[in-house]
Structure 1
């Protein structure tokens, strides 16, 4: 198995999970990978990606393309990089591609059969990558996994790191929406458990696209109030008076949960308690 972008946040957690569950041949592919179990490659470099076909991997898990800035890097990863991956996939390889529920855009509720209407450059590029895979690989060779927001220990950036830092420094909070942005949150350890379950059920999967969505769902305003209560602070904050983008209120992942019997082991409430404990 090859984890592309496996030295990143999700990749390091997934690699540990796989190895602890009996996957002995797990290789990490990234620009800086080297040594035993490391494959130095850049998916935007066609000559570099040729190593993938030579490796004859059963599973290729694509964790790259999870960046929104700079946008040209996001563009290259999700277009040129995907085209190179398609060309490099062997006949007996299955490409598991991590995408985003942001591709659905805004609305009341969706599932995997719903049309996509992305509203941000990042989500549009994630959908572009999906479309390339759908048109470039047979269904038995690919699985697209759309994720909600991921959080967990050691996460260096994101909304939780921002709120924690601001709680400890009395910084001024600024948001580029009116506070009604809704996000569902899934702990990284729950995510990698879910991905492991999907890999083990691969031959039984009937849907070419699977949502994995955390049950902890908050608006930005609710999330701020939760942190204020946990840290015993009152943030100074400013919201822009505009409606948020990619704001889907309810996203079903029933297919994934029924197929794997998945249940979360972590909760956002407990995680924030841990942040408070570490801060004291």
Structure 2
């Protein structure tokens, strides 16, 4: 049985579905702070609780006879981490420590960890391999790097097989019900602005890039989910202690995303230029050669696929919210 922490969140629902579809038995742990368990397959049990509670994790591991963990639970907003660093260190680093403690006590010896390209910070040429020096520039990025260090050290001491997947910018939707509702992610923020008739914000246009805006490697969430299934399959057949970049291998600027959103939505919106965010690197793009050559995984979707799928799911989510609001209003009127 696989334990997926944070398995009811945006990325978690996609990963859990991919693992379940591949024939794996999965149990999800989620505190439901942003999770939606109703979007998971009916056969997947959900245990509600925090990864900070080691005793709770041990109970779940014991109850379901867990033999491997996919650790996704954590907080991930770059800008929020700057204003709430203590909270991010507690949730992310202490969360990892708690997961590892529960695994060690119950002899679970395999883990896949959700890391991030935020560990790299600013890089000279904008493209990073797994050997690129990790010099994160935000508390969020630092928590992910510390988690990787903690994982390496505990794994070496306890004989645990591990893989850390350094996600790049995850977006898109694999199902119309699985929209990204994250208020800190670029594409949902653009869609929110469109819905409100506002201009989306572009944070800075004077970076050393072709159009002056930040360049990122956008990875479709279904490709990311498939990467997890690929890694779990590989761990079944051989010991592992590896870090992998999970990205497309090419970058798109913020303005590229704006134009893709215009095309997907059919709305001819304009945007506004705001001040750059502190610690935002000009360009971070994955060199995903290692995971392709060692495990045979490769991203299949491009930026247009990502943004169009995200818009379709967003539209479905928006209609559902509007319908629920109208029904709630009708019930309220009927109660008068």
TM-score normalised according to structure 1 size? 0.87
Q: Secondary structure at the match of 2:70?
A: strand
Match of 2:319 in 1: none
> What are the within-5 Å matches in structure 2 for residues 123-138 of structure 1?
123-138=141-156
Residue of structure 2 in register with 1:150 after alignment: 170
Instruction: Report how far residue 28 of structure 1 moved.
Output: 0.6
> What secondary structure sits across from 2:297 in the alignment?
coil
2:199 corresponds to which residue?
172
Q: CA deviation at 1:103?
A: 0.3
Bigger proportion of residues as strand = 1
Q: Secondary structure at the match of 2:217?
A: strand
Larger Rg: 2
CA distance in 2, matches of 1:26, 1:144: 19
- Say yes or no: does 1:120 pair with 2:134: no
* Structure 1 gaps, min length 5: none
* C-alpha distance in 2 between matches for 1:52 and 1:22: 20
Matched, 1:91 2:124: no
Q: Which moved more, 1:40-49 or 1:108-117?
A: 40-49
TM-score under structure 2 normalisation?
0.73
- Structure 2 stretches lacking a partner, 5+ long: 38-42, 174-178, 206-211, 317-336
Report the counterpart of residue 183 of structure 1 in structure 2: 216
2-structure distance, mates of 1:174, 1:263: 32
Which segment is superposed worse, 140-149 or 118-127?
Answer: 140-149
3-state SS, counterpart of residue 200 of structure 2: strand
**Aligned partner of 2:92 among 71, 75, 78:** 78
CA distance in 1, matches of 2:119, 2:186: 20
Aligned equivalent of 1:61: 70
Matches within 5 A, 1:34-45: 37-45=45-53
What per-residue deviation string (whole Å, max 9, x for no partner) do you get for residues 79-100 of structure 1?
Answer: 2211112211143421111010
Corresponding pairs, count: 279
Corresponding residue number in structure 2 for 1:26: 26
RMSD of equivalent CA atoms: 2.9
Mean CA deviation greater in 101-110 or 232-241: 232-241
- 1:228-247 pair list within 5 angstroms: 228-230=262-264, 231-240=266-275, 245-247=280-282
Q: Distance in 2 between matches of 1:49 and 1:98?
A: 18
